[in-house]
Amino acid sequence: MGPLNLAAESFDSSANQLVILQYHHVDPKTPDSTSISPQQFLIHMEHLATNGYQIVRLEQAIDKIKRGIALADKSVAITFDDGYKNLARFALPELQKRKWPATIFINPGLLEKHSSHYLSWDELKHWSLQGMTIANHGWQHDYWIRREAGYSAKEWQQKIKTSILETEKSIKQQIGVSHKLVAYPYGEYDTWLQSWLIDNQFISFGQQSGVVASYSDFSALPRYPASGVYADISTLKQKLNTFALPIDYQKLPSPLAMTENPPQLHLSWLNESFAVDTRFACYVSGQGKAEILAEVKRVKIQAQKPLNLGRSRYNCTLPVKGKPNYYYWFSQPWLSLESLD
């Protein structure tokens, strides 16, 4: 898919744009990095309710965006990764009370072995009847891109593909419906997996920040983490006031920063008027501002120092003209590994 011919003003509307929030635990006693307290979660929900946000079913919203059907302004989808049992104590009843939907991404292999930590199939069936979508997070919570010792590349890729297919099969058998929505464990993915998921009609979600639009890459859709260090309400308010950065997402590189570190990132603008906006800025995980070289139809971004091993991001923002405190937002995930051999 090549660049779209869209007028600049078409990017200044929230129509057909979707913010997706990502949570894990809603509990005061679970790991801080992936948790939000029930009190803070309630603050989030109250903010959404009192400021006109429309809470939508994820699968329906994505389908509308792909088909060119406009969503309501201020559309938001709520997601939970891993299907922890503590969700049933507060978060899911709170959503049920408001008649709001959410999506729960699950690992069948974990919930069947560790019933004290994860929602059971019976509980998931119950919540699906209350408006919650049950979706695919793989059989186990594996690192899909970090190949384990003893596997060839082909064998490892087949293992991950089987994990995804078996999970979808189990969801269909246990819940009765398959939406073919996949959330990458740890937000890690690569081009071979994206291509396979597209070929098998899956819609896939990462953990990089940003907004979904009609020109997004539906094999790596962004979500805003809303737990841990991102649980503060001021942080949430800013993320809700964002639009998708108008770039050609089909030209984004592999997240694996293996051949060059720090990696170069080239973004192609969907409208050339954005190329001359000097307010565009990018930031590197743990480093601060990135170097930016503006070109006629695209921009080159590069960290000033090599990325650390593991996950990193380039986060880019651009203020929206005529809308104070609103930003276009984009995040490029990187995964730097010692070796893929």
The answer to whether the Cα torsion of 306, 211, 168, 30 is positive or negative is positive
Predicted local distance difference test score (pLDDT) of residue 5: 38
φ, ψ at 173 (rounded to 5°)? -70, -40
Structure tokens, 67: 């088909």
Predicted local distance difference test score (pLDDT) of residue 14: 56
Predicted local distance difference test score (pLDDT) of residue 28: 94
CA 262, 147, 113 angle in degrees (round to 5)?
Answer: 125
> Per CATH, the architecture of 250-336 is what?
Sandwich (2.60)
φ, ψ at 168 (rounded to 5°)? -65, -40
The distance between the two most distant Cα atoms of the chain, rounded to a whole number of Å, is 56
Q: CA–CA separation, 86 vs 166, rounded Å?
A: 25
- Rg, C-alpha atoms of the chain: 20
Predicted local distance difference test score (pLDDT) of residue 7: 40
Predicted local distance difference test score (pLDDT) of residue 132: 99
User: Is residue 218 helix, strand or coil?
Assistant: coil
Structure tokens, 74: 């201020």
Q: CA–CA separation, 171 vs 128, rounded Å?
A: 11
Structure tokens, 38: 């029930």
Tell the CATH superfamily of the 16-243 domain. Glycoside hydrolase/deacetylase (3.20.20.370)
Taking each helix axis from N to C end, the angle separating 91-98 and 38-50, rounded to the nearest 10 degrees, works out to 20
The domain segmentation of the chain, as residue ranges, is 16-243, 250-336
CB burial of residue 259 (10 Å; 0-12, 13-18, 19+): exposed
Pair 181, 135: CB distance under 8 Å: yes
- Smallest CA-to-CA distance from 184 within 292, 105, 115, 112 is with 105
Predicted local distance difference test score (pLDDT) of residue 1: 35
- Smallest CA-to-CA distance from 18 within 49, 52, 62 is with 62
Q: CA–CA separation, 68 vs 337, rounded Å?
A: 38
Structure tokens, 127: 């919540």
Predicted local distance difference test score (pLDDT) of residue 4: 40
Residue type, 151: Y
Q: Provide the residue-wise pLDDT of the chain in tens; the chain has 341 residues.
A: 333 434 444 454 556 899 999 999 999 999 999 999 999 999 999 999 999 999 999 999 999 999 999 999 999 999 999 999 999 999 999 999 999 999 999 999 999 899 899 999 999 999 999 999 999 999 999 999 998 989 999 999 999 999 999 999 999 999 999 999 999 999 999 999 999 999 999 999 999 999 999 999 999 999 999 999 999 999 999 999 999 999 999 999 999 876 789 999 999 999 888 877 889 999 999 999 999 999 889 999 999 999 999 999 999 999 999 999 999 999 999 999 875 44
β-bridge pairing 288-289 and 281-284: antiparallel
- Smallest CA-to-CA distance from 50 within 226, 213, 233 is with 233
Predicted local distance difference test score (pLDDT) of residue 275: 78
Contacts of 329 (CB under 8 A, 6+ apart): 209, 210, 211, 239, 242, 243, 244, 245, 315, 316, 317
Pair 164, 105: CB distance under 8 Å: no
Q: What is the DSSP letter of 322?
A: T
